[in-house]
Amino acid sequence: MLQTPMDYRAVWERKPVLRAVYSDIYRRILSHCARGRILEIGGGSGNFKAFAPECVSCDIVAAPWLEVVCDAQRLPFPRGSFNNLVMLDVLHHLESPLLFLQEARRVLSPGGRLIFCEPAITPFSRIFYRLFHEEPFDMGVDPLAMTAISNDKNPWDSNQGIPSLLVGRYRQAVARSIPELALRSVDYFSFLAYPLSGGFKSWSLIPAAAATPLLAAEWAVHSLIGRLAAFRLLGVYERRHA
């Protein structure tokens, strides 16, 4: 199992199909960004900087390409510091999604956006995630009741169901708890290219050249079949003006 940002960066550099799949995600994240400063949370292997060189990148573990080492649930930035918070595969690792969303509300300026890409638990994807993915998911938890933070938690512990719960069953509960954050959009996408690429595994079942046309075809139908078969969701919260 990969354990460090350097491990992930090494896989990224030697696997072109992985770069194709994730580059598509990074570009779509940027397309939702408001004008202004960007904080990348969970900067990990530093790949997002190729798309947004001026962003500030932070993670809970250190790496040479990160500006800040911190916990996403205790961000060391003043109120209204950023116009955008972006994150890829981070939210489902957090012990307290509620504390993080409260921090997002604090750190974002009015009109700013929280943009996140995460696993989507759908009728089709749950079969793959349960049988073939090393990270677990539990759709029976209340993500807003998770408020404890332990200093000795393994940062790779996870529940892949958290993002789907927040934008699905607990959508209204989040709105009541943090009314300043409005859920602007949720796209359910990614059907074949992502699982067939193997992600950050050493293997891939498709060549890199096939990734781009396959991704384009997937996005063309994502609104029709996304909630049934998607492996990913792309969510956008917007910080309301006072």
Question: What domains can be seen in the chain, in order of their start residue?
Answer: 34-191+224-239 (3.40.50.150)
Q: In terms of Cα–Cα distance, which of 85, 88, 159 is closest to 118?
A: 88
In this prediction the pTM is 0.96
Q: Write out the two tokens for 42.
A: 């969970």
Tens digits of residue pLDDT in 149-182: 887 778 889 999 999 999 999 999 999 999 999 9
Round to whole Å and give the CA distance between 62 and 44.
8
The DSSP 8-state label assigned to residue 48 in this structure reads G
Tens digits of residue pLDDT in 104-155: 999 999 999 999 999 999 999 999 999 988 899 999 999 999 988 887 778 8
Q: Residue 218 above 70 pLDDT?
A: yes
Round to whole Å and give the CA distance between 209 and 211.
6
